[in-house]
Amino acid sequence: MGQGQHLLDSQYASAEWDYLRSMEEAPRFGIVSTYCRLLASNGSLLEIGCGEGFLLEHLDRSRYRRFTGIDISAVAIERAQALTDDRTDFVRAEAETFVPDGRFQVIIFNEVLEYFDEPLKLVRRYEPFLAPGGHFLASMFAAPYTARTQRIWKQLETRYDVAARCRVSIGRDYTWNIKVLRVPPSA
C-alpha cells in the first residue's frame, strides 16, 4: 500500500471508508457473512484487514465462538474496540508478521489481498493457523475486472481448491468475486 499505516489512519480518520456501511456494500458482506456462518458455526474466525469491524457488524455474534480481527490502522482498530466482548477482539498488527494465538475454522481476506505485494505468500503463511478442515475466504473487487485481481485468483487457485464461489453485482459497475478456498490434502 505504499504509505501503509499512515495512509490508512488518515483515511479512517477522515471517514473515507464509511461507505463500507452503505446499502451498496451489503450484498457482498451478506455473502461473506453467510459463508462464515456455514463454515464456522460455533467456531472461530480470523479476519485479516478488518478495518473498523465492518464484517463483524453483519455477523450473528451468537453463531461463533471466537472472532479476531487484525488491521494495520490504529485508527480503525481503536474504533473497532467498541465491538469487543468476551469472544471478540481486535489487534493492531501487520498481516505479514502477525502470529495468531490459535487456530481458526475460517480465515478471511475481505477486499485486502490486492493491497499486498505477494498475496499468495501472505495466504500461505496463515495455513498453520487453519483448524483441521478449515477454509480461507477471499473477496476481491472484480468490475472492471483488473489484471491484478485475475493474477491473484490464478495464483490462489494453483495452491488451493475452490470449495465454493459467488459473484455479487450491484448496479452496472460494481462486482465482486467471493471464493471459499481449502488446502488440498496433498499440500
- Note whether residue 31 is domain-resident: yes
**Contact residues for 50 (Cβ-Cβ < 8 A; gap 6+):** 56, 69, 70, 71, 76, 80, 90
In terms of residue numbers, what domain contains 17? 4-182
CB 71 within 8 A of CB 77: yes
- Note whether residue 187 is domain-resident: no
Grid coordinates belonging to 6 = 499512515
pTM: 0.89
Grid coordinates belonging to 13 = 480518520
Supply the CATH number for residue 99's domain.
Answer: 3.40.50.150
What gap in Å lies between CA 82 and CA 158, rounded to an integer?
39
Calculate the dihedral angle through the C-alpha atoms of 15, 152, 4, 22, rounding to the nearest 10 degrees.
10
Could you say which DSSP state residue 49 is in?
A: T
Q: Give the pLDDT of the chain (187 residues) as one tens digit per residue.
A: 445 766 665 765 666 666 666 667 778 888 999 999 999 989 999 999 999 898 998 899 888 999 999 999 998 899 999 999 999 999 999 999 999 999 999 999 998 998 899 999 999 999 999 999 999 999 998 865 578 899 999 999 999 999 999 999 887 677 889 999 999 987 6
Domains held by the chain: number = 1
- Note whether residue 144 is domain-resident: yes
- Note whether residue 47 is domain-resident: yes
The residue whose grid cell reads 491484478 is: 148
Encode burial over 72-99: b for 16+ CB neighbours within 10 A, e otherwise: bbebbbebbeebeeeebbbebbebeebe
- Note whether residue 95 is domain-resident: yes
- Note whether residue 48 is domain-resident: yes
